[in-house]
Amino acid sequence: MRCEFTLSSSLETNSVTASLMASTFNPVANQMPTIIVGVADYKISTEPSTFLVTHALGSCLGVTFHDSKRRIGGMLHAMLPSATLHEGQKIREAMFLDTGIPRLLAALIRAGSKKGDIRCKVFGGAQLMATDNFFRIGSKNIDMFYRLSHEMELDVVSWEVSGRVNRTIRLNNQTGDVIVKIPSKPEFIR
């Protein structure tokens, strides 16, 4: 059973969040090994009892993939929408959505996943500072992800994007749940 909700400042939603967290709290799970995904990086895990985590997603996008049948998960922390401005140059593929997403998906399939069994979730894309349209990297990242998700026929089951906050995300490779932490707010699950 999957529960999706949006965090708000109402007491009712916060009590639902606390109730959901209390009902799913597992002290053993909090001791699971953690794989850190850095900026412009991606990682996969074939070990069910692991977390994949990336910190402080601002305008960057954190994209998670999870195959619940095989308990294979992956996470990408991409900074920019497209590598096309860097054609002919050696690039770090995970830095860009248009190169990082296909690489991560290919790595999951090489590890034994089937594309039809992979669910995707996306986080980040915030606009942390007031700027003109030229520097709206967060919204450009969201637009690119939307385009790529349709072109690649990704099964996107959760969006937690935009706004003016950074997010830290942890993918529980056992369940496929993503625990989201926003500064000064309780954690919640997507």
Q: b/e for 172-183, b at 16 or more Cβ within 10 A?
A: bbbbbbbbbbbe
pLDDT on residue 129? 77
Say what the pTM is.
0.82
pLDDT on residue 18? 35
CB proximity list for 52: less than 8 A, separation 6 or greater: 34, 35, 37, 43, 44, 45, 64, 73, 74, 75, 170, 171, 173
Extract the tokens encoding 12. 């009712």
Q: b/e for 149-171, b at 16 or more Cβ within 10 A?
A: beeeebeeebbbbeeebbbbbbb
Domain ranges within the chain, ordered by starting residue: 11-189
Residue numbers of the chain with a pLDDT score lower than 50:
1-27, 29
pLDDT on residue 84? 87
pLDDT on residue 22? 36
Q: Are 152 and 118 in contact (CB under 8 A)?
A: no
CATH for 11-189, options being 3.30.1330.200, 3.40.50.1370, 3.20.20.70, 3.30.70.20: 3.30.1330.200
Q: Are 46 and 111 in contact (CB under 8 A)?
A: yes
